[in-house]
Structure 1
Amino acid sequence: VEVAIYIVCYVAYLGPFHSLVKTQNAFPLYRVELDENTLTGTDLIQVLATDGDEGTNGQVRYSIVSGDTGNDVRPLDREKLSRYTLTIKASDKGTPLQSTTVKVIINVLDENDNAPRFSQIFSASVPENAPLGFTVTRVTTSDEDIGMNAVSRYSIRDTSLPFIINPSTGDITVSRLLNREDTDRYRIRVSAHDSGWTVSTDVTVFVTDVNDNAPRFTKPSYYLECPELPGIGLKVTQVSATDPDEGSNGHVFYFIKSQSEFFRINATTGEIFNKQYLRYQNSSGSSNVNINRHSFIVTSSDRGSPPLLSETTVTINIVDSNDNAPLFLASKYFTPVTKNVRAGTNLIKVTAVDDKDFGLNSEVEYFVSDESKTNKFSLDRSTGWISVSSSLMADLNKKFLFKVKAKDKGNPPLSSEVAVEIVVTEENYHTPEFSQSHMSVTIPESHSVGAVIRTVSARDRDAAMNGLIRYNISSGNEAGNFAINTTTGTLTLAKPLDFELCQKHELIVTATDGGWVSRTGFCSVTINVIDVNDNSPAFSPEDYFPNVLENAPSGTTVIRLNASDADSGPNAVIAYAIQSSDSDLFVIDPNTGTITTQGFLDYETKQSYHLTIKAFNVPDEERCSFASVNIQLEGTNEYVPRFVSKLYYFEVSEAASKGTIVGEVFASDRDLGTDGEVHYLIFGNSRKKGFQIDEKSGQIYVSGPLDREKEERISLKVLAKNFGSIRGADIDEVTVNITVLDANDPPVFTLGTYNIQISEGVPPGTHVTFVSAFDSDSVPSWSRFSYFIGSGNDNSAFSINPQTGQVTVTAELDRETRPVYNLSVLAIDSGTPSATGSASLLVTLEDINDNGPTLSTHQGEVMENNRAGTLVMTLQSSDPDLPPNQGPFTYYLLSTGPATSYFSLSTAGVLTTTREIDREQISDFYLSVITRDSGIPQMSSTGTVQIKVIDQNDNPSQPRTVEIYVHYYGNLFPGGILGNVNGVLRVFF
């Protein structure tokens, strides 16, 4: 049977569907490829079997015997089944029936018939201080198609939003600075589109708060006129600040920056209360004109981390409150007046003061409470003077009683009242006369307070008020020592007298009658004060601290004390005595108070003495006082320092460090105090031997390097002396012999630092250098040593021969990973303990060309339909090697694939087009590029550059039918707009 195959292909003209059939046949297997949107009924392939028989035996029938489930005709869907394997049977109608089979494999090619689908409903949070480029979230899609049909590109149409999206990855990033206080959430419409479909979803971005706003007071400053505050804890005012931040960042609390003496603040509400009573104070005449003004700074802070602060100034000016009524200076006012006084004469002045208030609150006016009782008198409202307003001739012996009110000008006004009595009398013709115009009295200074001294007496021949006498002391009593009964004239003592202050008092006593125009008589009184023994002797000072030399001869004056007595005469005679003492080596002259020695004073036996001296009156020994005398002996330098040993032997290792104590010498001095202090010093050439001595303790210690090989035995001369210059006879000398013991010295390298350069490409085992050290110790085990590498040998790149000091490479070296090795090379001897010498080995690696260049640019763009020669991009590369193993770089296109027919690449890396490009045919190119460096030998690498063809609107649109599937992930769709359907230009073949 022969089989012939022909292909019939129909061009679809409706919608976006088109079909493509390809065959690759090799008997007995046939392959067919077609698009999944091929229309039902389209002929794909015809198999033709021939039969050499005739008649019914040569009539051929065809059937699909396997691979077509259900044997029905339905649309193809690659996403459900991408390959069909059919077995086709050709059979004749003869008897017996003859048949043959052939296999046809149909591969269904993908068509972009599925829209991308967002993987979820997206939402994210971003802090408002997120920097530009901060990734907020990533949107992702899935697509049942494959290949380029499943590649989605993302976009955000609303360019006013402060976000952009990466079209390839779906990463949404911040493109402009955010401010939560302006907008706290964004709804971003994100579109995903493949080559034929576009879907959209809303991404909700919540802007989270950052503490970027300090609290702001509602006023830049607060000023308040506040009345006086008579209580504590009263609300004075309130400040307020707001913070637009959220949560703790916007939670505001208050405090006074510098603690106020007068005010406190509620941290939560900003209410300000007083902590003290605040009264208005008169500032006139004061250096502080702002005495009533209180200013302080209130700080508002949020509870962010860190917190932000702002400040405002609060000024509270205390103004006077009318809280005090005027007060009269007298509880009652009285005056007599003669009957023939003329109208207009001022009689008496009432005075009320309001000195606790100020301003209008303290200005006083006077009023008569009942003017019907004062028709004979008038009152000046401003001054308080009461004057006669009409004749009093008919009012002899008449009393006028009325009340005067004093009222201030405050709001509301306050007032008080006082009674005024006026009596009309006859003329006052006579002056009071004392029985004696002068009298003298003598009293002791111990006279009791309140006791009567003398009574004075005067008489007046007038009658009634004009003859009523009152006594006063008009002068001589400025200290207030005396008092007089104004009615009886009895003179008494008001304060204790002191003869020592004043021995005589001259008083003037007056007798004044009660007439309206009063008359006064005078009497002089002399009071003589006599002394009594009322003062004890007193030392000044009460403590004495004299010094006296030891060995002073008997009778040496130590000190003379002096006590005084404020009394006079016999009451002031003073005698002295030693009340108590801790020694009998001192005596005192009872008349002069001079203390002298009696006996031998030895500083080494006792250094100080204490005496209590009594000073007393001779007539009355109970009148006494005491002084403390502390006598300090001053020693003399009687003895010379002497070493307890005449020769000292010490040993010390030559390896001893500075400060090591070798030994101690000691000298004694029988003197006490500073005279007995011993000072040590090394003198002469001994000071150059590498040792010093502690001046006070006598400890000898190492002060410089020791070398047993140079000087094994050292002799020092040490002096012991008292403080001060050397006088010859006051010093002692001793010899100190020190033996220097051998010590294990470390090996010493010939160089402190070795600098070596080697190539980075040398193989392991390569010789680097030799290091060398020597050890001059005499002990064999101390002079033998081995070499080691200490620090800096990362990855064990080097090794050293312990005996020869040869350094070799033990690992691969890469300058690009580590260009320099700083090795610590050690030489350790065999001593116990061992001693170590060290040196630095600095190995610098020289570059070789062991790295190929790497493309730095991988993507470019070109507009479709541009003419040949259009510049696409200039390639850039990098190379970790050093010059000259880097650039300049040369570039070549691999001559594989159709892309090389569209582009040309110069050796300098300039990529240009060689022909016009149609994006509808090819939208992306992938070029393989070879990059070579300039090193020897030359290194190269191959990279891929993607060129995207940018679309132009060069195709008219055509009508088509598109099915759109919308997937909703909520529970119940409430209705509304899902999105927009837009037409896409496309060419069909």
Structure 2
Amino acid sequence: MVSRWSSPEAWCLLLSLLLLASWERGSGQLRYSVPEEAKHGTFVGRIAQDLGLELEELVPRLFRVASKDCGDLLEVNLQNGILFVNSRIDREELCGRSTECSIHLEVIVDRPLQVFHVEVEVKDINDNPPMFSVREQKLSVPESRLLDSRFPLEGASDADVGENAMLTYKLSPNEFFILDIIHKKDKDKFPGLVLRKLLDREENPQLKLLLTATDGGKPEFTGSVSLLILVLDANDNAPIFDRPVYEVKMYENQVNQTLVIKLNASDADEGINKEMMYSFSSLVPPLVRRKFQINESTGEIKVNDAIDFEDINTYEIHVDATDKGNPPMVGHCTVLVELLDENDNSPKVVVTSLSLPVKEDALVGTVIALISVSDQDSGANGQITCSLTPHVPFKLVSTYKNYYSLVLDSVLDRESVSSFELVVTAQDGGSPSLWATASVSVEVADVNDNAPTFSQPEYTVFIKENNPPGCHIFTVSAWDADAQENALVSYSLVERRVGERALSSYVSVHAESGKVYALQPLDHEELELLQFQVSARDAGMPPLGSNVTLQVFVLDENDNAPELLAPRAGSTGGAVTELVSRSVGTGHVVAKVRAVDADSGYNAWLSYELQLTAGSARSPFRVGLYTGEISTTRALDENDSPRQRLLVLVKDHGEPALTATATVLVSLVESNQALKVSSRALVNTMGPEVALVDVNVYLIIAICAVSSLLVLTLLLYTALRCSAPQTEGACGPGKPGLVCSSAVGSWSNSQQRRQRVCSGEGPPKTDLMAFSPSVPP
């Protein structure tokens, strides 16, 4: 190799080849050229610049070069975008004797995906000398051969192409033979010897000549073979064929014993010297001997093995016709068999997947896969058309020659169709045509484009108060049409304030199952309606979600007994004391028992009963069933005890009913002594020293004290009401209201609350419940 490039002319040739590397845009590709055997790192072209790509985009966009058959012969420097020779390129190894040789590169960049086709032509250099198949060729020439007799020789072969493979022959100087060149149809030629002087075996029994072949490259290479010519003494006339070269055209794939040609040679001799037999020359290689056979008697050449145009399309058969003289004479001819192509090869389809699976939000025009087709046949038999299974959202786009891109043609929806089975059909142009198919499975990858959905936007739940902590009250469930993590739903509370407390202190929701739990016992008297939202979120990126509203109604239970309100008159030891004049008539109201119940509905509907004690069977008093008013049933007389102890039972209508008891002490006095009795009673409560003071003075003091106490009580009540926390947020207790309890319009105090609906919006709503029971007259 050193001597090959040592001359200045060789370096000038190499430099000119490198400078001639160019690119062009045509049919969607770049074209460069590079000489074979170029050193590692040899510049081929500025591929990134020629493709219109910025250097800083090469690495982020995953710039890469792929070649189906040529491995890593060429590489791209991602720093400067230059295409260079990466490893040794041997044109003869790559393309054989083909006159055109190129490396096809697929340049692929992502984000967005682009595919470019680059053709790099490999220029031939004269790196192979002419070669002969043997070191020495032997020729047997009878001394009786006439002048101008021709003797074919095996020519040399050169692995190069073009001018580098154009061979010229030179024969060493001698007085008997000159060199004759026979031109073949394919512009090739093979040498032969022409006798110019008669031979004399007695003078020269053998001759040694040197045949030299020189190619047309620069620098030129030579090869030589030794010619040993044995001069035979005997038969004067050799067989002669009609033509020195026979040309035969036939289709490939002929069955065995198909006739190729029948040769005919003639011999001017007589008798046994005229009889001849045909045979393949010793120059015929073993491959040709396997493919064909010759009948030694008739000269018929027939097919003996499979002949395939795609393997070898021409055969050169050297035939000898040898007579039976002594010594035998030999005639020579060459049979050139040219095979014609038949459509015997189906197309081949190769699918290279690039972007599988395909996301359902992929844009129209996204390249899914690269498809290459090929056919070993020639002409129309090798012309291929491609088609795709109809009625799919994809199409084939021709990019270069037999290269196609499978691209997205319409919008995908995984929830409708999650996968496609595509069939690519390649059909050649032969008659009859052949085809091949390739299946492409395209999976549609899920994108988080569906939010979890609930079966209804709102749920109503009923739960009794005083529930155990942690009890399960409801289960929410949402469904997501997506797949895998995009359909993995988790649940959470939409946090907010319920009054002065956080919603999470009342309820919780299990993130995976959607079960809603009450964290503490709920109290109907504190919270009648708990309204909140549960959020369902999937695990996609970004996550999608939706909310559902839960209205939890807390049902009342009879868990509060009636409570007695403070009496309006004085009391002694928890009992209400009333002074009643004996002169009052029937139906006079002497006192009223007031009670409330913190429950609601029937649980807060109160009724009053007068409990009779021993010795009070004929009590002149009764109590209103729903009013709590104690009134006389008849006129009082002297037989009635001056002190009456009344026991009033207050009972609600719950199941079971809860009760409370009020004691009322009724003192019967004369009408003109009522004031004195009350004054005396007041004096008795103030001690023995005060009894000495005038009764009128103490009466005034008592009235003032009572008045002051009343004013103080009112002030204290007002202050407590003003200092009580205001209901803020969702669910707080309001001011007790009145519940209608009879048809005649009497009222009893009951728990009545104003609460805000737990959404936290709007003014508080008053819950007023009216009862109109049938009261017997």
Return the TM-score normalized by structure 2: 0.46
Greater helix content: 2
> Higher RCO, 1 or 2 (CA under 8 Å, sep at least 6)?
2
